[in-house]
Amino acid sequence: EAKANYAKAKEQGITGSLLDQDDDNWFTMRLANIKPGEMIEVHMRYQEKIPYDDGEFRFVFPLVTPDAYTNETASSSSSSSGGGGQQQKLNDVTMNVTVKAGVAINPPRSLVHDVTVTKTSSSSSSKEGSNDDGVYVVQLNKKDKYPNRDFVVAYSVVDRGVAPMVYLQRRSSSHDGTFLVVLN
């Protein structure tokens, strides 16, 4: 149904978008009927299991697309990223990542980009002004606005010794759910 709605909007000259899953971890966002020079915003939300390695969690969001996955060739508005035959269009990118760890964490950092990290508090915070709920916003700074390498954010849990943690998630529409037990 989404593909039909997108095709209809595209045919009628209406601005539209379609997100397709091409592979297990590969998505394509299609945009139609954007006027030349018009600025658009694309908001995407999803949940992902963040890999844990060498004492920290690392979130990687690909911003560079290998040629094998694109339908277009480089044009005069493109430039080579200089690595492995990858190319990117010189469109500005803004990126805000909200880290909701659920436990106290050390401030996140980016391994390859210039970012601003801001503590925030959630309504479930146990102490006013504390950040025991592990909520931070990581924002890509304007000088790093070109998508010439993947966006990587890393963070570690505040060391409080060995402590078991249980995470629960239940679907609101059923009694089904999942849980995760972690010994940290």
pLDDT digits (tens, 9 = 90+) for 9-35: 999 999 988 988 887 767 888 889 988
- With residues binned 3-state (H G I as helix, E B as strand, rest as coil), the percentages for the chain, rounded to 5, are 10, 40, 55
Structure tokens at 43: 């908001």
| Global pTM exceeds 0.85 | no
Give the pLDDT mean for 140-150: 79
Residues in the chain: 184
pLDDT of 141 over the 50 cut: yes
Tell me, what amino acid is at 62? P
* Torsion of Cα atoms, 121 then 125 then 126 then 130, to 10°: -20
